[in-house]
Amino acid sequence: MNIEKTPLPLRVLALLLPDQLREVAIGDALEEYARREQKYGRMRALVWSWRQTFSLDLFRLRRELSSGHEYLSLPKRRKILIDRTTLWQFVRRLQQRPLFSVTVIAILALGIGATTAVFSVVNGLLLSPLPFPEADRLVRISKNDMHRGWSHYPVLDRELDVWRESSASFTGIAALRYTGAYDGTVTVDGSHRTVKILDVTTNYFDVLGVPAFLGPTRDTWMMGSPSSS
């Protein structure tokens, strides 16, 4: 066979073979290719050639040649070889059963993707701390009517005063009210943004431990506004 006519898979194979055996192994491959082409046709010979090129034993061959004669001794090295062999058998088994391998890898990929997505949601909603100092000490108190089955029942001003006076467990109690009636649009540097506007007590920012982003706070119940929320 003319070397210029060496089929592509065998030229790739030549690149993958270790130097010590490149010439003889490519010679063998060309000889077998010619035999198969004559006996079974060009297509089947090419398929056989590609299978030689993708043989995982090419890497084993490199390892075998690089390990020298230490193969016969050195218990520590032998232990490492056994571990590598186990890994190698696993890879070869995957190669021998491609459909099974693809299925397993797809299931693993789906599982990892789904787990990551669920964790991202849980982390964002439950695990990430709120953007306030000592956020783990913040609690939400609401008034519920157990008989009627209503929750988040409106709290009156005087009830709030009673809670503040009688409670020894809290550093401070702030209240907020949202009706949706005052929602509006804020324009900052030419861009419009829809905001929710709440009624809050004067100590609201003190309880949260943060200053108002913009504008002053008042001493009484105050109406939230674009300049103060």
Partner 1 sequence: MRRHAQLGELEHLTLLAVVRLGSDAYGANVRRELEETAGRSVSIATAYVTLVRLEKKRFLASREAAPAPVRGGKAKRCYRITHSGARAVRMARDATARLWEGFEGHPDLQ
Interface positions with partner 1 (CB under 8 A): 1-3, 6, 13, 17, 21, 23-32, 34, 51-52, 55, 57-58, 60-61, 64-65, 69, 71-72
Given the complex with partner 1, which of 70 and 134 has the nearer CB atom? 70
Closest distance of CB 77 from partner 1, Å: 13
Closest distance of CB 82 from partner 1, Å: 12
Q: Which residues pair with 199 in a beta bridge?
A: 177, 223
Given the complex with partner 1, which of 23 and 161 has the nearer CB atom? 23
* 199-200: strand order across its sheet: 176-177, 199-200, 222-223
Given the complex with partner 1, which of 26 and 94 has the nearer CB atom? 26
Given the complex with partner 1, which of 69 and 147 has the nearer CB atom? 69
- Nearest CA among 182, 171, 178 for reference residue 209: 171
- Nearest CA among 8, 5, 3 for reference residue 27: 3
Closest distance of CB 102 from partner 1, Å: 22
Burial of 85 per CB tally in 10 Å (0-12, 13-18, 19+): exposed
Count of C-beta atoms within a 10 Å radius of residue 109: 10
Closest distance of CB 100 from partner 1, Å: 21
Closest distance of CB 103 from partner 1, Å: 25
Residue 191 and residue 212: Cα distance in Å, rounded?
21
Given the complex with partner 1, which of 59 and 90 has the nearer CB atom? 59
Residue 125 and residue 138: Cα distance in Å, rounded?
15
Indicate the residue type of 63.
R
